Structure 1
Amino acid sequence: MPHIIIEHSEDLPVLPQVLVEKVHNATFQSGLFDLETIKTRAIAYQQYQLGEGKEGFIHIAAHIMAGRSIEQKQMLSESLLECLKTYCRDSDSLSVNIYDIQHEIYRKN
């Protein structure tokens, strides 16, 4: 845990695998997770519509086990957004959201 899902426009200024690696490392650098528990993946979109002046987009959905403080979630969100800013154009729409996974209903094998 966590699951880091990167949704993005197809025309990124960085290779998707590079973006996955950078976001994966930024997640680890947050100090909230062990490296072997982080799962990061990317989904590219061909069809999308953005606000005026935006060329592309990246949205990170970080699904983490419930129990972290608001401050920890804010720090993770900020560090992931800063990572995106490093590798993206000013004209890209960038966003991050942190979602709590409830221990009582989450299942894996």
Structure 2
Amino acid sequence: MNKAKEAPEAAAAPAKGKKKGDLMYLGPTIAGAARHGTVFRNGILPKGAQECIAELPMAERLFVEVEKAPDAVKELRKSQSALGTVYAQAEAHFNAQRSIRRE
């Protein structure tokens, strides 16, 4: 009998709409979910990151293919760019959530 190894519980399916290549997270650090600059092999995101995407779907745009990361970083530097706007909204949303949880 040959049983395939199961992925660890912390890992989940690849981000939807993404290839199975390595993804780099370029958003703000979110405790328990993702740290800025983290690379996720084969596009497999941990449960915490997937929960963040479920809570704020636009945050998925902050997971970019490693090959496209340099261009995405350039876009992030422009606050009026689409990616820069997503970053700012994710940062505001998850910082607000964190302060609510502390109360």
Q: TM-score scaled by structure 1?
A: 0.30
Higher fraction of strand: 1
Higher fraction of helix: 2
Q: TM-score scaled by structure 2?
A: 0.31
